[in-house]
Structure 1
Amino acid sequence: MKTINSKTVLFVTGNFVSHLGWNAWQKYFEEQGYNTLAPAWPFKDGSPAELRAAHPNKDIASLRLNQVVDYFESIIKTLPEKPIIVGHSMGGLITQLLLQRGLAEAAVAIHSVPPQGVITFKFSFFKATWGPLGLFTSANKPFLMSFPQWQYAFTNGMSLADQQKAYNENVIPESKRISRDGLTSAAKIDFKKAHAPLLFIAGSTDNIMPASLNHSNYKKYKNSESITDFKEFDGNNHFVLGLPNWKQTANYILNWLKN
């Protein structure tokens, strides 16, 4: 396996949730000798409570996928080295797009939103994504996930108290345009192109991004000279970053980077 020398980790947040959800991950990776950053998306640099109170925000509603990918590229270009990019959900797709641009020393896509053309017919996927896509609603108003939607898409299997705590601490409004862009050429990946090492992480109980969908994403990569790996964790839902066993996922990533 290629030696990964970078000590900079860029964490990329996904849809619907605050960048502050990476706080524990940043501290843990820094304890292992890495320098980390987890920037907020444009117009989202505030606490979840503040951002929910300001809903609907027209600037958030205006966000597009290419805009956010370009934003992270601009951050990467200020760094002293190519980072290890670790993204969750839509942040996983953004990670794949940044990797395609040659901007990563290595990349990890956690429960990633699939690129254009990678599909599933699982009912849970359609049920969980129907609200965020809002196909018959105006894109000029951002989407704020309701608590029942959060329970199904992110925190299924958790206690009611833990689900509510997670909602209060994480959920923020999201651009419908971002979600819809995931279905367009803005989310296109050249699966034959050589790339830096890439690890996919999936969870067996994820409703919104099922493990089988993550596996299909992984299997699309065809460059025989590039490293692409896959790991599924039993019992993990989409709230993988904040589950009690999050260090199990983090340690797997750290060992993958070292070995």
Structure 2
Amino acid sequence: MNPKKIVFIHGLWIHATSWEPWMEFFNRRGYETLNPAWPGDAATVSECRSNPQPIANRGVTEVVDAYAKVIATLSEPPIVIGHSFGGLIAQILLGRGIASAGIAIDPAPIKGVWQLPFSALKASFPVLGNPFNLKKAVSLTFDQFRYGFTNAVPLDEARALYGRWAIPAPARPLFQAAMASFAGHETKVDTANTSRGPLLITGGERDHIAPPVLGKATFRKYPRNVVTEFKLFENRGHSLVMDAGWREVAEYCQTWLNKNGY
């Protein structure tokens, strides 16, 4: 029997190599793993920082289609595990029927989720506060990263995570998510697809970018006749996939996959 494949999908402002500890974790447990970058991302954090222009002006559909092309090269539909906007992308791919199962870790909201918590608005304001950012790649200052990602970890760890993983990100996906309730379809997920595989959605209790209210609202958009679950991680922020507590989340995900036959 061929090992199950997992495609990891990163979100805004974090480099694809942040998944490497997860890849090692799952490889040791018999899975095959891939962590494709978003279109325009360079191979290293330093390259992304020194030349952010190739990252700019990439929209959600373009990124989803890039991952779909990777999936098309595989021998069977993979498990998709995404964080933040990667969690949204994982749901779109699962809804298309080209993934066997999905895990959306503190995902960006799908179209139809109208809640807008203050912390999410504040975390997004460095981008959304200037409409001229639409076609640009935008970097977060450390203070902005601290508020959005690492508010639940010690300051020294926050600085280390920022130095190791933070990269510029295209502003367009945030604008697309912000406008989804009024126009556009880029963040729409086929929640009515009852032939899809199981889905796990998580929330971090202290997450500022994607507070649990968003994940719970997304969860409620899905019918109950297909496996769909929500898990809250207490006292965790948006950095939960890469900070010192990442293994707790990875172990829960593996247990959930095993429970559902993956």
- Give the % identical residues: 35
In structure 2, which of residues 87, 91, 95 is the aligned counterpart of residue 92 of structure 1?
Answer: 87
Is the Cα contact below 8 Å between 1:49 and 1:168 reproduced in 2?
A: no
Question: How far off is 1:134 after superposition?
Answer: 4.2
TM-score, reference length from structure 2 = 0.92
Aligned partner of 1:193 in structure 2 is: 193
Aligned partner of 2:205 in structure 1 is: 204
Change (3 A) 1:242 1:137: same
Of the structure 1 ranges 123-132 and 22-31, higher mean CA displacement relative to structure 2 is found in 123-132
Is the Cα contact below 8 Å between 2:139 and 2:168 reproduced in 1?
A: yes
In structure 2, which of residues 29, 32, 36 is the aligned counterpart of residue 32 of structure 1?
Answer: 29
The code of the aligned residue for 1:52 comes to R
Secondary structure of the 1:27 match is: helix
In structure 2, which of residues 130, 136, 142 is the aligned counterpart of residue 147 of structure 1?
Answer: 142
The code of the aligned residue for 2:208 comes to N
1:79 equivalent in alignment to 2:80: no
Number of aligned residue pairs: give it. 252
Runs of 4+ that moved beyond 3 A: none
1:1-259 alignment, distance < 5 Å:
7-55=4-52, 57=53, 59-182=54-177, 183=180, 184-194=184-194, 195-222=196-223, 224-259=224-259
Question: How far off is 1:164 after superposition?
Answer: 1.1
TM-score, reference length from structure 1 = 0.93
Question: How far off is 1:6 after superposition?
Answer: 6.3
Any idea what the Cα deviations from partners look like across 1:99-120, whole Å, max 9, x if unmatched?
Answer: 1110111100000001112032
Question: How far off is 1:137 after superposition?
Answer: 2.3
Any idea what the Cα deviations from partners look like across 1:142-201, whole Å, max 9, x if unmatched?
Answer: 111111110000000322221111011111111111221223311112322212100011
Q: Distance in 2 between matches of 1:121 and 1:109?
A: 19
Is the Cα contact below 8 Å between 1:98 and 1:104 reproduced in 2?
A: yes
Any idea what the Cα deviations from partners look like across 1:124-155, whole Å, max 9, x if unmatched?
Answer: 11101122334432423211111111000000
The code of the aligned residue for 2:20 comes to N
The code of the aligned residue for 2:197 comes to A
The code of the aligned residue for 2:209 comes to I
Give 5+ residue unaligned stretches, structure 2.
none
Secondary structure of the 2:80 match is: strand
The code of the aligned residue for 1:245 comes to G
Change (3 A) 1:135 1:193: farther
Of the structure 1 ranges 72-81 and 41-50, higher mean CA displacement relative to structure 2 is found in 41-50
Secondary structure of the 2:132 match is: coil
Is the Cα contact below 8 Å between 2:111 and 2:185 reproduced in 1?
A: yes
Secondary structure of the 1:187 match is: coil
Give 5+ residue unaligned stretches, structure 1.
none
Q: Distance in 1 between matches of 2:25 and 2:83?
A: 17
The code of the aligned residue for 1:217 comes to T
